Amino acid sequence: MAAVASASLRAPLIRLSRVSKDYGTGAGVVHAMRDVDLAIDQGEFVAVVGASGSGKSTMMNVLGCLDRPTRGTYDLAGIDVAQRKGDSRAIVRNRVIGFVFQGFNLLPRTTALENVELPLQYRGVGVRERRRRAVAALEAVGLASRMHHTQNQLSGGQQQRVAIARALVTDPPLLLADEPTGNLDTRTSLDVLALLQKLNRERGITVVLVTHEREIAACASRIIEMRDGRIVSDTRCAEPVDAARALAGLPSIRDVEEDCEPVASRRDLRSPSAATSSSVPWNVYPMMWLADATGALAAASYVVFILHGSGASALWAAAIFGEVTKAWSGARWCRRSLGRPMSSDQRWHVAFGYTLGITGLGLALVTAAAMWPRVAEPSGAHFLLDAAAATLGRGWFVFATVIAAAVAGIVLLRYLLLSLLAPRR
């Protein structure tokens, strides 16, 4: 293990170089992996995505030393495993890799504790030590109270937790999971993901998981997409979805792909609808309006009653402070609902939507009030209307340009405030 650990400090934990895997079938040769180059460092959390038949499972089998590549080299923790014979590969596999499968693969009529003890039993670890480590692993996955339950007394999510405990009981630096949430509902999937993220963060375990669900992939810090046996995109996410937070904020988990930057050249694009998703919760707008009104009222009261300022300065203070409280509350509200800070697209969306919607509504009200027989003489509404009339006097084109410039300026200001006041994480 020490040799493995020191080797992994120098080189990536996983390095595939021009790896191909062919399967001979009656109908000819299937090229399940074609010239795949891939390096994964210790501590990464990688999601492998792609359509059915794109070669994900084949790559996982190669990575997991369950299958040998037809061509190319595979270095695992500094050991060239592609060339090794079956027994020797099995030794490396048992020391370095923990496996989690879609179907959990627990032994029936056997308790959670016995299932988790099994890999240690194969290694010849003594009874007491075996029990101690299995108990610790089950505690780590939050199943201390279910140790003596058998498979049919556990829910799907709990069975997968037992499987994760079984994979981790031998302390492998690498966890490979092929569709670990494929048999689970969204909530339970996120629960399992939250556990994997915790193990990755707290223990530095490298996680490589296959999934066909975008929401699950969004929890990884790196997403590798396969097509026809090739890696067609390799993307790092600066801010992967925190599964525990997303779970708290269900059902509003959103696509995070806007925050991703391509690592390697990308030969293929993600589906356009997924890549451009920038929707925000609708209730952010009334929330911002409320924050604006509260902030503006507080600022105006402060100027008038405490500073004894003029009406005009109170208006200015209300406008400025209202903008700040509005952006602050909008950014925080979205952070709560989305389970992560807004992406740049979403900040534009909010700035634009708010300006066109609520400000448009406000302007319409002000104009209507001002056009009504003048009730209160010197009001802000009349000032606006007079300014509009003066601009209109110079022609429609000038009027439209001034309005467009004003709206664009306000949208930009709001975008900048949202960016400035958004929580970082």
Pick what 165 binds: Mg ion, ligand ADP, none; C-beta below 5 to 8 Å, kind-dependent. none
Residue 353 binds ligand ADP, judged by CB under 6 A? no
* Cβ atoms of 42 and 8 closer than 8 Å: yes
Stretch of 55-63, 199-207, 249-257, 274-282 lying at the interface with ligand ADP (CB under 6 A): 55-63
Residues in the chain: 425
Asked if residues 231 and 50 have their Cβ atoms less than 8 Å apart, the reply is no
Residue 251, preceding peptide bond in cis (omega within 30° of 0): yes
Among 10, 25, 108, 152, binds ligand ADP (CB under 6 A): 25
- Report 33-52 residues binding ligand ADP (CB under 6 A): 50, 52
Per rule CB under 6 A, is residue 314 in the interface with ligand ADP? no
Does 102 help bind Mg ion (rule: CB under 5 A)? no
Indicate the SS3 state at residue 48: strand
Among 15, 21, 44, 57, binds Mg ion (CB under 5 A): 57
Cβ-closest position to Mg ion = 57
Q: Which does 30 bind (CB under 5 to 8 A by kind): Mg ion, ligand ADP, none?
A: ligand ADP
Count of residues that bind Mg ion according to CB under 5 A: 1
Which tokens is 32 given?
Answer: 């399940």
Q: Which is nearer to Mg ion, 38 or 253 (CB)?
A: 38
Nearer to ligand ADP, 60 or 125 (CB): 60
Does 346 participate in binding ligand ADP (rule CB under 6 A)? Answer: no
54 touches ligand ADP by CB under 6 A: yes
Residue 58 binds: one of ligand ADP, Mg ion, none (C-beta under 5 to 8 A by kind): ligand ADP
Number of C-beta neighbours around residue 9 at 10 A? 8
Non-local (6+) Cβ contacts of 292 within 8 A are 322, 323, 325, 326
Residue 32 near ligand ADP by CB under 6 A:
yes
The interface region with ligand ADP, picked from 38-46, 54-62, 246-254, 400-408 by CB under 6 A, is 54-62
Long-range contacts (CB closer than 8 Å, 24 or more residues apart) made by 5-10: 5/173, 7/77, 7/78, 7/79, 8/42, 8/77, 8/78, 8/173, 9/42, 10/78
Partner interacting with residue 72 (select from Mg ion, ligand ADP, none; CB below 5-8 Å by kind) = none
Q: Rule CB under 6 A: is residue 57 a binding residue for ligand ADP?
A: yes
Cα–Cα distances in angstroms (integers) from residue 189 to residues 34, 38, 195, 219, 387, in the given order: 31, 27, 10, 11, 58
DSSP helix, strand, coil percent of the chain (3-state; round to 5): 55, 15, 30
| CB count in 10 Å sphere of residue 354 | 23
Q: How far is the CB of 249 from Mg ion (least distance, A)?
A: 30
Contact region for ligand ADP (CB under 6 A) — 25-33, 88-96, 142-150, 274-282? 25-33
Helix (H, G, I), strand (E, B) or coil at 27: coil
Q: Which is nearer to ligand ADP, 52 or 145 (CB)?
A: 52
Based on CB atoms, which residue is closest to ligand ADP, 227 or 382?
A: 227
Query: Minimum Å distance from CB 235 to ligand ADP?
Result: 18
Is the distance from CB of 200 to CB of 187 less than 8 angstroms?
Answer: no
End-to-end Cα, the chain, rounded Å: 35
Residue 421 lies near ligand ADP (rule: CB under 6 A): no
Residue 15 phi, psi (nearest 5): -140, 110
Rounded Cα gap, residues 260 and 275, in angstroms: 10
Q: Among ligand ADP, Mg ion, none, what does residue 339 contact (CB within 5–8 Å per kind)?
A: none
Tell me how far, at minimum, the Cβ of 48 lies from Mg ion, in Å: 10
Going through 170-247 in order, the beta strands assigned E by DSSP cover 174-178, 206-210, 222-227, 230-237
Smallest separation (angstroms) from ligand ADP to the CB of 257: 20
User: Residues in contact with ligand ADP, total (CB under 6 A)?
Assistant: 12
Least separation, in Å, of the C-beta of 178 and ligand ADP? Answer: 7
Tokens linked to 267: 């030969």
* Selection from 220, 186, 261, 189 nearest residue 47 by Cα: 220
Closest approach of Mg ion to the CB of residue 60, in Å: 8
Could you say whether residue 102 binds ligand ADP (CB under 6 A)?
no
Rounded distance between C-alpha atoms, residue 293 and residue 422, angstroms: 20
- Residues lying near ligand ADP in the complex (CB under 6 A) are found at 23, 25, 30, 32, 50, 52-58
For Mg ion, the binding residues (CB under 5 A) are 57
